[in-house]
Amino acid sequence: MGGNVNGLNAATILAYYIEYKAKKFGVTSNSSPIRNFHTNEVTDAVVELCEEFEHRYAKSFGEMCRECACNNLTQEGYWSILSELVGKDLHWGRVIAIFAFAGALSVDRMRSNCHADVENIQDWTCKFMRKHVEQWVDKNNGWNGLVEFHKKPT
């Protein structure tokens, strides 16, 4: 899926990021661990950019997570949130917003012992990215484009 670099795709990046977040916050993930996976420039960039994004929008993400917890989360509702994050003009910052929100919501659901929600979040995020983001990633130098974006001076 999108911008394959040595087998790297959005599903692998997302699974890695959610595992990273779970370990960071000391919560247990019921997801199967990624075997024989080594971090690389792409995953390092995703972690750095997501943490920066989450820090910047912590209050909004907290509110969004609480709203999702109060409602019975469906794929349609989740995709609606992701569509709002992406907006009309897709760019790397909005791709990062997807990963960051999926990671934040997953940790929130793990803390609430709602592990089935985490599996849904991963599945729905990957489906959303295949449908709405994958072609854009491919046209923008694949996941290497994200690394280039990350390296640009701000």
- The domain of 130 spans 39-151
* pTM over cut 0.85: yes
CATH of the domain at 99: 1.10.437.10
pLDDT in tens, 30-66: 665 565 567 889 999 999 999 999 999 888 888 888 7
* 1 pLDDT tier (thresholds 50, 70, 90): very low
- Whether 143 maps to a domain, the answer reads yes
Q: Which residues contact 82 (CB under 8 A, 6 or more apart)?
A: 98, 101, 125, 128, 132
pLDDT in tens, 75-114: 999 999 999 989 889 999 999 999 999 999 999 888 888 8
What total number of domains does the chain contain? 1
Sequence-distant contacts of 79-85: CB under 8 A, at least 24 apart: 79/124, 79/128, 82/125, 82/128, 82/132, 83/132
CA pair distance 28, 25, nearest whole angstrom: 9
Residue-level pLDDT at 3: 47
CA distances from 21 to 13, 34, 51, 70, 136 (A): 12, 14, 10, 22, 26
